[in-house]
Amino acid sequence: MRHRPLGRTGIHVSPYCLGAMMFGKVANADHDECVRIVHKALDFGINFIDTADAYSQGDSEVIVGKALKGRRDHVVLATKASLPMGDDPNQCGGSRRWITRAVEDSLRRLQTDHIDVYQIHRPSPETDVEETLSVLTDLTRAGKIRAFGASTFPASDIVEAQWIAERRGLARFRTEQPPYSILNRSIEREVLPTCQRFGMGVMAWSPLAKGMLTGKYRKGERQPDSLRVKFFPKAMSDEGSLNAVEKLIPVAESAGISLMHMALAFVVSHPALTAAIIGPRTLEQLDGLLAGAEVVLTDEILDRIDGIVPPGVDVAPLERAAYSPPSIIQTASRRRPIVERAAA
């Protein structure tokens, strides 16, 4: 596979990144099979692997660590922290206290002495971003991480972090990992232009819209028995998504490719995108994903896709995987006090 620059980090990675979210007790508890998936991906030419401490509560990192024995030097290894890793309220977030502990735990599970790209899994509004950038800068200088980034951050948070890094003399976010697919294009409005402005590498998660773009989910047909349906029941039965899929399938067929391969090629065709994260659960799924690695979409096909799902528009709900800021999830942030409203 041809490698691409990961922003301006000087690191080069494959346009497909092997995501390890499906590795571990939540999805595929067979460590040996997961190791074989990693090895097959590496043999194919993928040199980029993304996991997180929260995936199966560390089990995914353990599997990746096993798989990379003897091959670590040729892999760009990314992991994430900040989601809860226990009932203790201090076992999450972007504080110095937690990140210092979390990175050591990840290094141990991954059986490595450094992480190439360490990411903050979701924004932590209760933590001053300067606190987070400060500890990540120290970890970089200590050699425990090579670069760091964010995941699913709003454009305003990315800009604020860049500004604070410059003003305080701290290292800055070098990557962003947002959701992006044919059915989820809202990041085209602000997030992707912002990443381009700051020279950030971008790895897209859920390029198949949680599996909706595999072609297995069709309007009027019975849903397959899958983990996606279990975890994201609303998203996998969303009428708007299913309607879009029915219009997209003929476009893929006219190009002589599958909907899944068209969806992956769409993501990596964007000039701001470094890589699409593929997350196979089985070897069979990996084979299917890799079969479309050489697909390149023509302008005509891209125009037809734009006609179905316009640029900058989200058709599919992200459901639980989305990030909702306090202004949305906290009722008090959206309503004036009763006394003030009554006076008005």
Distance CA 297, CA 182 (A): 13
- CA dist list (Å): 55 to 51, 106, 336: 7, 11, 39
C-beta separation of 147 from 11 below 8 A: yes
C-alpha 55, offset from chain centre = 12
CA distance 276 to 268: 6
Q: Which amino acid is at 325?
A: P
- Out of 16, 55, 118, 217, the active site residue is 55
Query: Is 118 part of the annotated catalytic residue set?
Result: no
Judge whether 66 and 58 are in contact, CB under 8 Å. no
Which is it for strands 12-13 and 4-5: parallel, antiparallel or unpaired? antiparallel
Tokens of 281: 């659960």
Non-local (6+) Cβ contacts of 261 within 8 A are: 252, 291, 292, 295
Residue 99 · residue 128 · CB < 8 Å: no
Q: What are the helix (H) ranges across the chain?
A: 31-44, 59-67, 96-110, 129-141, 155-168, 191-197, 227-231, 239-254, 259-268, 283-290, 299-308, 326-329, 338-343
| Contact status, residue 143 vs residue 118, Cβ threshold 8 Å | no
Residues serving a catalytic function are: 55
